[in-house]
Structure 1
Amino acid sequence: MTDFPRYAIYYAPAADAPLARFGASLLGYDAWVGCGLDFPREITDAVPDWSELTADARKYGFHATLKAPFALADARTEAELCEACADFAATPRTIPLIRPVVEAISGFIAVIPGEASPALQEFAAACVLAFEPFRAPMTPNDRARRKPELMTPRQREHLDRWGYQYVMEDFRFHMTLTCRLSDERRRPILAMLQRRFAALEIATLAIERIALFRQLGASSRFSIIGSWPITGK
């Protein structure tokens, strides 16, 4: 059985940023304040089952995974994890810049980089390494739920080493907006979301902060309990 609370290190735009409002409104949940939001009327008029299509993403809040959810290792505390987040953010490092686009990724619709970013890959890997000492080992049930039989050999190695398969070479930055959709359903929804995103006129996005999310129980949504701006170099 998974232990709670669980924590995750995510990228989340600042609470008042247009991208944060875009994502929160589409998911119907604001992780900054931990409360539900009404969906845009245009969305629910066009897609009546929008709430169902975003149910899984809503549980986690609008984010990009850097260190996937984990229970705290024995003898580690939330206060120590917060201190480690502050230390990580205070260490000068290159702040990745991406051109964000709304596209399909593995059948989902998400905000992703328009081009590959070595700096972003390096940043994500640094997060995985820095916060690994805080992660409790996976339970056998947790591992089984990840369905390792469907992974590549390298992904299984990542799962067993880091508790999550999509890290290091297999990391793909994405801020999820929907569940996995069939091609037929995805095309019109993708076009609609691309139009809404284009209206924000976000030419570049700096991945300039980390956020600590916490989930109190299996039925709870993740919420933000701390955010730290990255010190650039």
Structure 2
Amino acid sequence: MNTAGTARVALYWAPELDDPLHHAASAWLGRDAETGAALEQPPLPDIHAITAEARLYGFHATLKAPFRPLAPWAEVREAAAAMAAGIAPFDLPPLAVAELGGFLALREAAPCPPLHALADTATEALDRFRAPPTEAELARRLAAGLGPSQEAMLRRWGYPHVFAEWRFHLTLTRRLTPAERDLYRPAAEAWVGLAAGRPRRVGSVCLFTQAAAGAPFRIAERLPLGGAGG
């Protein structure tokens, strides 16, 4: 993939292409992050607006939050692949629709220490390639009302939700009003719940790239975890 001029890079987990969750959740958001194709969404009022921000980023769970790379793509990719190769595949608990900070997301039904360890490792392994946030980016994050620990993480790692502050989630909506929640939560459970609750194995991570500011994120490459792809 040609990533010359890439604005931002992120390391995410996303379901495999043959996982029914990839198809169900991509349709819910209205875009396939693998192909970039626009998809028909469920017939719900305002769903295109409700899912706009999540659609921009693609269906994913954050491991290393988006950052502007300080090094060429090949160096970032090599480091990410080496990191992935050193981590054993593991089973992911069933996922279910939940509320997190006022928005809807899929979250794990039980603690999964290997998952948290993966996020911790990704945060550290790629940090040397991360350009620091601008003053405007810091101000925007700080305006969200971060706690002391989150603010410290933001200043050190460029993102407030890492290590003890990290929460596994795959975003489905923006923040909702109570009335919107009453409409969209049962709809999301009906649309993605069956696929989300299936057993699955985490055998890869994904490098996502954003070509320019405001452009949608796309999956640039899926990197196998150690033992998952030879």
TM-score (norm 1): 0.90
Query: Structure 2: which 5+ runs fail to align?
Result: none
Q: In structure 1, how many angstroms separate the alpha carbons of the residues matched to 2:208 and 2:196?
A: 28
- Match for 1:55: what amino acid? A
Q: Deviations over 1:143-200 (max 9, x none)?
A: 1111256111000010011000000001000001111101222023111211223333
Q: Deviations over 1:75-109 (max 9, x none)?
A: x1101111112111211436252221111111111
In the alignment, does 2:70 pair up with 1:68?
Answer: no
- Which is further off, 84-93 or 133-142? 84-93
Alignment of structure 1 residues 81-230 onto 2, 5 Å: 81-93=76-88, 95-147=90-142, 150-200=145-195, 202-230=197-225
Partner of 1:37, secondary structure, is coil
Query: Structure 1: which 5+ runs fail to align?
Result: none
* Runs of 4+ residues deviating >6 angstroms: none
Say what the alpha-carbon RMSD is for the aligned residues.
Answer: 1.9
Match of 1:58 in 2: 55
1:100–1:205 Cα contact (<8 Å) kept: no
- Select 1:15's aligned residue among 14, 17, 23: 17
Q: Percent identity?
A: 36
Match of 1:25 in 2: 27
2:103–2:172 Cα contact (<8 Å) kept: yes
Partner of 2:126, secondary structure, is helix
Partner of 1:30, secondary structure, is coil
2:94–2:196 Cα contact (<8 Å) kept: no
Q: In structure 2, how many angstroms separate the alpha carbons of the residues matched to 1:187 and 1:104?
A: 12
Q: How many residues align?
A: 224
Q: In structure 2, how many angstroms separate the alpha carbons of the residues matched to 1:178 and 1:122?
A: 26
